């Protein structure tokens, strides 16, 4: 497998592999950087199965480091940003021996893990010949979950299929992050097929649209929240997006009303809902249509079932376990409980209703935020909104909403409009008791809405 990866890169030769800040790098240059990175690993005594933290976003050097560590059979922990909480969690549960900073160059420092025994990461990896990958969950409170994958399995999945000529001519924007399962999936899918990965600098809606125009991007991976930011900023009008043929969206549920907006504002582009988790990888999907939020998991390597309304998955690229949490998200027969509540339509098509943990319970009456957000987005005065629950001494929880209004409206006018707009359209308990007017709806690094939750305030 490792020989096949190198052979492919050699075969692609001078074809452009990466575009970083308008500078093009061929596969031959990428391969040279991979070899240089491996030489550096050897010079510093980095042995197979040593755990290495790679700090940095997308760059030719960080991508070269990723492949060098794979070829060296290391356990890779990509971290775009280093904060005390996450690094402390990694130090405790992965016991990394090295920190590799990837930017304009590569800098390798030795780490001193806390006292203790050998890291369980090696025991969980199992295959002595395999490289590992550690991802951190995106939770914003408490210690993140430390998720262990076989990097060999993820790479092998992409190497199984021969590069298609059409795929090898595509420029793909790396919108999702370097330490995100979706971002790594996009990167591996693009480079192992001979495509060109275009690396954004800031990942702002304006920059992404500018890059679509500059490099005639045909496939844009994004999230519903990010697509709405493009529409709200009008960047789809100030930049030429006519090259786009496909927009894939995932990481969070898409509201039907927002999907209508995207179809209306960016016409002639096919829309495809993707689905995956940090634990099971990204599944191949088929949308019922560009105007439908129903999709089908059409991946031979992924099984699914629905138990009590929750989607459960089992995949060939499934994680090997958590290093710091009990694997209680796995059933006895190794199905992963996604936490996504779904409904099944005709011919096996699914629609995500929302996250089980986001369910709002008002005195026994239940509401998923996506339902109310979809109704509110149909208002001509609501540009964006986010619904969440808050504790209430009498009803258990109460419904709250943050609204970004369209146009110049007073806060009182917005609150009055929301109540009047919802009255008669939804049941009385779903009408928010607290309506906050905001300048912007928060978005996480993973391009998802920041939704307040009763136990933490953020998510």
338-389: pLDDT as tens digits: 999 999 987 889 999 999 999 999 999 999 999 999 999 999 999 999 999 9
Least Cα distance to 418 among 382, 383, 368 occurs for 382
Distances (CA, A) of 34 to 39, 68, 203, 260, 350: 9, 5, 25, 44, 41
Q: Does domain 359-437 have CATH number 3.30.300.30?
A: yes
Token duo for residue 390: 């808050």
- Tens of pLDDT, residue by residue over 65-84, are 999 999 999 999 999 999 89
Q: What is the pLDDT of residue 119?
A: 59
pLDDT-derived band at 443 (thresholds 50, 70, 90) equals: confident
pLDDT-derived band at 454 (thresholds 50, 70, 90) equals: very low
**Domain residue extents for the chain:** 2-157, 359-437
pLDDT-derived band at 224 (thresholds 50, 70, 90) equals: very high
- Tens of pLDDT, residue by residue over 279-310, are 999 999 999 999 999 999 999 899 999 999 99
- Tens of pLDDT, residue by residue over 109-126, are 999 877 766 556 777 777
pLDDT-derived band at 458 (thresholds 50, 70, 90) equals: very low
pLDDT-derived band at 318 (thresholds 50, 70, 90) equals: very high
pLDDT-derived band at 459 (thresholds 50, 70, 90) equals: very low
The pTM (predicted TM-score) of the whole model is: 0.90
SS3 per-residue string spanning the chain: CHHHHHHHHHHHCCCEEEEECCEEEEHHHHHHHHHHHHHHHHHCCCCCCCEEEEECCCCHHHHHHHHHHHHCCCEEEEECCCCHHHHHHHHHHHCCCEEEEECCCEEEEECCCCCCCCCHHHHHHCCCCCCEEEEECCCCCCCCCEEEEEHHHHHHHHHCCCCCCCHHHCEEECCCCCCCHHHHHHHHHHHCCCCEEEECCCCCHHHHHHHHHHHCCCEEEECHHHHHHHHHHCHHHHCCCCCCCEEEECCCCCCHHHHHHHHHHCCCCEEEECEEECCCEEECEEECCCCCCCEEECCCCEEEEEECCEEEEEECCCCCEECCCCCCCECCCCCEEEEEEEEECHHHCEEEEEEHHHCEEECCEEECHHHHHHHHCCCCCEEEEEEEEEEECCCEEEEEEEEEECCCCCHHHHHHHHHHHHECCECHHHCCCEEEECCCCCECCCCCECCCCCCCCCC
HSE toward the beta carbon, residue 302, CA cutoff 13 A: 23
pLDDT-derived band at 407 (thresholds 50, 70, 90) equals: confident
Considering the four listed CATH numbers 3.30.1490.20, 3.40.50.980, 3.50.50.60, 3.30.420.40, the one that applies to the domain covering 2-157 is 3.40.50.980
Instruction: Round to whole Å and give the CA distance between 409 and 357.
Output: 33
Token duo for residue 3: 């020989």
Instruction: Round to whole Å and give the CA distance between 313 and 319.
Output: 11
Q: 104 — phi, psi (to 5°)? A: -65, -25
Token duo for residue 97: 């021996």
Across the chain, what does the average pLDDT equal? 91
pLDDT-derived band at 455 (thresholds 50, 70, 90) equals: very low
Q: What is the pLDDT of residue 457?
A: 30
Instruction: Round to whole Å and give the CA distance between 228 and 383.
Output: 9
Instruction: Round to whole Å and give the CA distance between 250 and 186.
Output: 12
Q: What is the pLDDT of residue 346?
A: 79
- Tens of pLDDT, residue by residue over 164-218, are 555 556 789 999 899 999 999 999 999 999 999 999 998 999 999 999 999 999 9
């Amino acid at each position: 497998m490792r020989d096949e990866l190198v052979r492919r890169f050699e075969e692609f030769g001078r074809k452009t592999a990466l575009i970083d800040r308008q500078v093009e790098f061929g596969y031959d240059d990428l391969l040279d950087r991979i070899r240089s990175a491996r030489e550096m690993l050897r010079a510093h005594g980095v042995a197979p199965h040593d755990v290495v933290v790679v700090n940095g976003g997308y760059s030719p050097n960080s991508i070269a480091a990723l492949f060098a560590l794979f070829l060296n059979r290391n356990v890779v922990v990509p971290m775009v940003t280093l904060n005390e909480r996450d690094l402390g969690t990694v130090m405790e549960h992965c016991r990394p021996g090295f920190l590799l900073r990837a930017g304009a160059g590569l800098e390798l420092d030795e780490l001193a893990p806390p006292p203790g025994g050998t890291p369980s990461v090696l025991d969980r990896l199992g295959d002595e010949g395999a490289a590992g990958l550690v991802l951190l969950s995106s939770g914003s409170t408490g210690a993140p979950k430390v998720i262990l994958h076989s990097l060999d399995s993820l790479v092998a999945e992409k190497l199984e299929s021969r590069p298609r000529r059409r795929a090898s001519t595509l420029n793909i924007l790396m919108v999702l992050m370097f330490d995100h399962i979706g971002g790594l999936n996009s990167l591996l899918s693009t480079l192992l097929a001979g495509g060109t990965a275009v690396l954004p600098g800031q990942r702002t809606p304006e920059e992404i649209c500018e890059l679509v125009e500059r490099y005639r991007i045909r496939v844009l991976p994004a999230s519903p929240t990010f697509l709405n930011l493009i529409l709200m900023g009008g960047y789809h009008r100030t930049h030429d997006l006519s090259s786009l043929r496909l927009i894939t969206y995932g990481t969070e549920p898409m509201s039907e009303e927002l999907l209508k907006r995207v179809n209306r504002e960016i016409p002639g582009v096919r829309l495809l809902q993707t689905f995956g988790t940090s634990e099971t990888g990204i599944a191949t999907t088929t949308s019922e249509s560009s105007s439908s939020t129903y999709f089908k998991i059409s991946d031979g390597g992924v099984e699914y079932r629905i138990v009590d309304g929750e989607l459960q998955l089992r995949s060939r690229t499934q994680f090997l376990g958590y290093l710091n949490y009990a694997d209680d998200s796995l059933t006895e027969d190794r199905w992963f409980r996604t936490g996504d509540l779904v409904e099944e339509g005709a011919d096996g098509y699914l629609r995500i209703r929302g996250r089980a943990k986001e369910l709002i319970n008002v005195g026994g009456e239940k509401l998923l935020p996506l339902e109310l957000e979809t109704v509110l987005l149909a208002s001509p005065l609501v540009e964006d909104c986010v619904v969440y629950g808050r504790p209430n001494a009498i009803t258990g929880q109460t419904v709250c909403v943050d609204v970004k209004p369209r146009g110049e409206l007073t806060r009182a006018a917005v609150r009055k409009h929301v109540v009047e707009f919802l009255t008669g359209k939804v049941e009385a308990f779903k009408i928010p008791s607290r309506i906050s007017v905001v300048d912007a709806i928060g978005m996480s690094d993973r391009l998802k809405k920041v939704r307040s939750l009763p136990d933490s305030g953020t998510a």
